[in-house]
């Protein structure tokens, strides 16, 4: 008899495992063992599930690169024993974490599925059970003894997305995420409808490589009409700054005023990497399409193409830790590493 698929459930915190504080009425993370008691249905799944929890589960607003390293370490330490990993995580920063982990875990040949919920698991109308149960089922999918999914994904409200393509767009609806520039990998209805042509193929024969250190000398600046040179200079003057994600308008457009372009040009010449991403939720940066982006291209701004801000900032953190020659950085950033951009 073939052995059952083994799934490791990693609990980091989030609404899924929260309950109301008696005194304040605010939602707080609580002990994971109690969470499992709330879902006896898990026993019916045709896989073996083991669990591991952050010592102190967090609201994902407290997520940071050290905690990403903790998730990566748990996966690395258990990689040979388990067939798939499900990470329970607050939805607020889930897209950042899924993006970060997609870069930190190179040559994945097993699924890492992030999920969570908008309502606590103990709530009568909770969305947690469906999200958790289907995420585990998807992490268990095998094809000829091999995992079907070999990448970091996010499962929420009947849809499996590539994690680094997602963004949280709704604080109210169960349908809280979108993947604006990449189609859904699996849809959950009466059946699981898979679109394998969209899955990330394993391209290297090498084993899992984990990068735990990220460089957080980075910042995100969202453009808005009326931005002043004082604001821009203050950002560019941040000590030790190495990377800037510039959220521009439309297809990558920004002011053509001298003070703006001169400041960016000077920053680039002193080694700052500036990535142009669009603040539109869908579509791509295309520098040179309008006059308002031609100068950005000329001064060496990196094109984020159709990347999300979440993936752009975490990709910067990941690449800046790699001693890449300054002259190669732009080309490497503009290359898709984990299916995060076209």
Chain residues in the site for ligand ASP (CB under 6 A): 13-15, 59-61, 90-92, 116, 118
Q: Are 52 and 19 in contact (CB under 8 A)?
A: no
Beta bridge partners, 209, equal 106
Q: How far is the CB of 87 from ligand ASP (least distance, A)?
A: 12
Beta bridge partners, 167, equal 178
Indicate the residue among 113 and 244 with the shorter CB distance to ligand ASP.
113
Nearest to 249 by CA among 290, 214, 218, 210: 290
Cα-only R_g, the chain: 21
Q: How far is the CB of 134 from ligand ASP (least distance, A)?
A: 17
Indicate the residue among 59 and 242 with the shorter CB distance to ligand ASP.
59
What length is written for the chain?
342
Indicate the residue among 27 and 227 with the shorter CB distance to ligand ASP.
27
Indicate the residue among 168 and 273 with the shorter CB distance to ligand ASP.
168
Q: Closest-CB residue for ligand ASP?
A: 90
Q: How far is the CB of 322 from ligand ASP (least distance, A)?
A: 29
Contacts of 31 (CB under 8 A, 6+ apart): 17, 53, 57
Q: How far is the CB of 155 from ligand ASP (least distance, A)?
A: 14
Q: How many CB atoms lie within 10 A of CB 190?
A: 5
CA distances for 275 relative to 160, 169, 264, 309, angstroms: 28, 22, 11, 10
Nearest to 126 by CA among 160, 157, 95, 101: 157
- Report how far residue 232's alpha carbon sits from residue 137's, in angstroms, rounded to the nearest whole number: 48
Q: Name residue, tokens 């409808």.
A: 193
Indicate the residue among 91 and 278 with the shorter CB distance to ligand ASP.
91
Phi, psi torsion values for 104, nearest 5 degrees: -65, -30
Indicate the residue among 89 and 338 with the shorter CB distance to ligand ASP.
89
In the annotation, is 230 catalytic? no
Phi, psi torsion values for 170, nearest 5 degrees: -145, 130
Q: Name residue, tokens 């000077």.
A: 266
Q: How far is the CB of 61 from ligand ASP (least distance, A)?
A: 6
Phi, psi torsion values for 76, nearest 5 degrees: -60, -45
| Residue of 15, 167, 278, 314 with catalytic role | 15
Q: How far is the CB of 119 from ligand ASP (least distance, A)?
A: 9
Helices (H), the chain: 32-37, 65-78, 94-104, 128-139, 229-236, 258-269, 291-298, 309-319, 326-333
Q: How far is the CB of 204 from ligand ASP (least distance, A)?
A: 33
What string of H, E and C letters represents the secondary structure of 188-239? Answer: ECCCEEECHHHCCCCCCCCCCEECCCCCCCEEEEECCCCCCHHHHHHHHCCC
Indicate the residue among 97 and 164 with the shorter CB distance to ligand ASP.
97
Active site residues: 15
């Amino acid at each position: 008899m073939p052995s059952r698929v083994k799934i490791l459930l990693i609990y980091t915190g989030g609404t899924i495992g929260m309950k109301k504080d008696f005194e304040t009425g605010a939602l707080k993370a609580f002990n994971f063992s109690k969470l499992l008691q709330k879902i006896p249905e898990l026993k019916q799944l045709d896989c073996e599930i083991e669990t591991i929890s952050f010592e102190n589960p967090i609201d994902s607003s407290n997520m940071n690169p050290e905690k990403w390293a903790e998730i990566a370490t748990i996966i690395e330490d258990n990689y040979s024993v388990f067939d798939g990993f499900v990470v329970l995580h607050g939805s607020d920063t889930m897209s950042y974490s899924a993006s970060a982990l997609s870069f930190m875990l190179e040559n994945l040949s097993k699924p890492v599925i992030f999920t969570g919920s908008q309502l606590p698991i103990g709530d009568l109308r909770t969305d947690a059970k469906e999200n958790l149960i289907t995420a585990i089922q998807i992490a268990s999918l095998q094809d000829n003894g091999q995992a079907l999914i070999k990448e970091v994904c996010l499962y929420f409200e009947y849809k499996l997305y590539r994690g680094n393509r997602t963004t949280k767009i709704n604080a109210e609806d169960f349908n809280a995420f979108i993947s604006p520039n990449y189609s859904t990998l699996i849809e959950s209805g009466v059946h699981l409808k898979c679109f394998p042509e969209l899955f990330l193929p394993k391209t290297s024969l090498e084993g899992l490589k984990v990068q735990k250190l990220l460089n957080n000398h980075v910042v995100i600046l969202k453009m808005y009409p009326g931005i002043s040179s004082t604001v821009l200079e203050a950002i560019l003057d941040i000590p030790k700054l190495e990377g800037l994600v510039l959220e521009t308008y439309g297809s990558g457009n920004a002011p053509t005023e001298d003070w703006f372009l001169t400041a960016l040009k000077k920053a680039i010449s002193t080694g700052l990497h500036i990535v142009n991403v669009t603040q539109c939720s869908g579509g791509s940066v295309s520098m040179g399409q309008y006059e308002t982006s031609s100068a950005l291209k000329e001064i060496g701004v990196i094109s984020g193409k159709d990347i999300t801000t979440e993936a752009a900032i975490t990709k910067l953190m990941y690449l800046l830790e790699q001693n890449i020659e300054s002259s190669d950085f732009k080309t490497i950033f503009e290359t898709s590493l984990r299916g995060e951009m076209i």
